[in-house]
Amino acid sequence: MATRVIRAAAASTVAAAPLSELAALRTQLTALTFASPWLTVAEQLRANHHAYECQDAGRLERWCLNTQATIARRAAEYQRQCGQRGSSSSIHG
């Protein structure tokens, strides 16, 4: 039993991403979320907490990509709403 635990620990250590890669991904995610007008305060806090808890580089990378997509989608929706307001006021104005 002890041998299995030691082997599992060794395998997870070998499979773990280098700390520099994790640090870079955490920095990227923090830069995306910190004081972002496109994310709620709760989303920002959750992202910060989970970024520093996560030890999986693949998961952090996917999270960065998903966060970028969410921010882009919300920014586009905002621009679309602003455009609709501007065009509707000129039609009725």
- Assigned domain for 6 exists: no
Count the domains in the chain. Answer: 1
- Assigned domain for 25 exists: yes
Confidence of residue 19 (pLDDT cuts 50, 70, 90): confident
- Assigned domain for 29 exists: yes
Confidence of residue 87 (pLDDT cuts 50, 70, 90): low
- Assigned domain for 5 exists: no
- Assigned domain for 12 exists: no
Structural domain for 52, as ranges: 18-92
- Assigned domain for 77 exists: yes
CB neighbour burial string for 36-66, b if at least 16 within 10 angstroms, e if fewer? bebbeeeebeebeeebeebeebeebbebbee
- Assigned domain for 26 exists: yes
What's the confidence (pLDDT) of residue 68?
94
pLDDT digit string (tens) for 29-52?
Answer: 999 999 899 999 999 999 999 999
- Assigned domain for 1 exists: no
pLDDT digit string (tens) for 60-80?
Answer: 999 999 999 999 999 999 999
pTM for the predicted model, two decimal places = 0.67
